[in-house]
């Protein structure tokens, strides 16, 4: 006999302002705390369904979505991505099953970068979890190459994305996640990074942690790689417990 897995599907799916999303929610009426789940470069919303299911099991409404230039969402990735995040945070907070005072942003890699920008830009985002967060300069050189008419490197995540290269390069070259983490002010932030990350050096997270105001927490993991911290069940549970306390 073949074993059948009972994997919880999203409670709702849809699009908002051209952004494709999936939503998981706990049983009951709420209002519940909520978390926006932001994927990395070249990824998509389905790749973080594991965290969304765990979040719902722990009493959170969880929203996964495809950024512009990814998956089923319309349009190319460009500087309006931060406006999209602010719009989604407002939409999520306005749901009757969500506590508008307790909406968090959680992202990994490029999603970690975007989660920090969302925390800085949106009054609705009350706390941030950034996992192996990238920096703008880590993406800017490759995006500028594309803007100048050169193809992306074969192993680049940009090869899997739709981007408005000239405008995106301009935004990356003039934005700074370090400045964004300071603009978050006293919003709680948890930063998680694997010391063995081969894509984003863990020292980048150390610098962000130094710039952030209290309350803040930094978890540096021995070994691991760029993806391991995103999908580790123990770390996922710890981040949800931290969010419940922080918000």
Q: What is the pLDDT of residues 18-72, one digit of tens each?
A: 999 999 999 998 999 999 999 999 999 999 999 999 999 999 999 999 999 999 9
Q: Is the pLDDT of residue 222 over 90?
A: yes
Determine, yes or no, domain membership for 5. no
- Per-residue tokens: 2: 């073949």
Q: What is the mean pLDDT of the chain?
A: 95
- The CATH number covering residue 92 comes to 3.40.50.1820
pLDDT for res 154:
80
What pLDDT sits at residue 218?
Answer: 98
> What is the pLDDT, as a whole number, of residue 152?
85
CA dihedral (234, 42, 182, 196) positive or negative:
positive
pLDDT digits (tens, 9 = 90+) for 161-177: 999 999 999 999 999 99
Q: Whole-prediction pTM value?
A: 0.95
Q: Residue 73 pLDDT more than 80?
A: yes
What is the pLDDT, as a whole number, of residue 8? Answer: 83
Q: In 3D, which of 126, 137, 134, 233 has the Cα closest to residue 191? A: 134
HSE, side-chain direction, 13 A CA sphere, residue 39 = 26
Q: How far apart are CA 110 and CA 131, in angstroms?
A: 9
Answer with the residue of higher pLDDT: 196 or 4.
Answer: 196
List CB contacts of 203: < 8 A, sequence separation 6 or more.
Answer: none
Q: Do residues 66 and 13 touch, judged by C-beta distance below 8 A?
A: no
Percent of the chain with pLDDT over 70: 98
Q: Is residue 7 part of a domain?
A: no
For residue 233, pLDDT over 70 is answered with yes
In the chain, the number of structural domains is 1
Kindly state whether residue 55 falls inside one of the protein's structural domains.
yes
In a domain, 228, yes or no: yes
User: Looking at residues 12-16, what average pLDDT do you find?
Assistant: 98
Q: Tell me, yes or no, whether 96 lies in a domain.
A: yes
- What is the C-alpha to C-alpha distance for residues 27 and 60, in angstroms, rounded to an integer? 10
Q: Are 147 and 173 in contact (CB under 8 A)?
A: no
pLDDT score of 239 more than 50: yes
Copy the structure tokens of residue 218. 């930094």
Q: What CA–CA distance (Å, rounded) separates 149 from 160? A: 17
Average pLDDT rounded to a whole number, residues 145-169: 92
| 73 token code pair | 């969402």
Domain that holds residue 145: 12-246
CA distance 100 to 147: 39
Residue 1 lies in a domain: no
- Evaluate whether residue 192 is within a structural domain: yes
Where does the pLDDT of residue 6 fall: very low under 50, low under 70, confident under 90, or very high at 90 and above? low
In a domain, 165, yes or no: yes
Written as six digits, the tokens of 99 are: 């506590």
- Strand ranges (E), the chain: 12-16, 19-24, 32-38, 61-65, 98-108, 125-131, 189-194, 216-221
Mean pLDDT of 216-243: 95
């Amino acid at each position: 006999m073949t074993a059948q897995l009972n994997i919880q599907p999203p409670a709702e799916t849809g699009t908002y302002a051209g952004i494709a999303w999936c939503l998981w929610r706990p049983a009951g009426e709420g209002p519940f705390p909520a978390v926006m789940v932001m994927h990395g470069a070249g990824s998509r919303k389905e790749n973080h369904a594991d965290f969304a299911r765990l979040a719902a099991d722990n009493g959170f409404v969880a929203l996964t979505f495809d950024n512009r230039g990814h998956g089923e969402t319309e349009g190319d990735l460009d500087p309006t991505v931060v406006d999209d995040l602010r719009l989604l945070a407002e939409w999520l907070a306005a749901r009757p099953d969500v506590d508008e005072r307790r909406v968090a942003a959680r992202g990994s890699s490029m999603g970690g970068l975007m989660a920090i920008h969302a925390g800085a830009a949106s009054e609705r985002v009350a706390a941030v979890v950034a996992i192996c967060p990238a920096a703008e300069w880590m993406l800017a050189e490759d995006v500028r190459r594309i803007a100048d008419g050169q193809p992306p490197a074969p192993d680049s995540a940009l090869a899997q994305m739709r981007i408005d290269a000239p405008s995106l390069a301009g935004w990356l070259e003039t934005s700074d996640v370090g400045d964004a983490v300071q603009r978050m002010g006293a919003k709680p932030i948890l930063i998680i990074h694997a010391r063995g990350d081969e894509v984003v050096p863990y020292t980048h997270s150390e610098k962000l942690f130094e710039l952030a105001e209290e309350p803040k927490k930094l978890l540096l993991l021995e070994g691991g790689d760029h993806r391991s911290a995103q999908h580790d069940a123990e770390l996922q549970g710890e981040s949800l417990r931290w969010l419940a306390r922080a918000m």
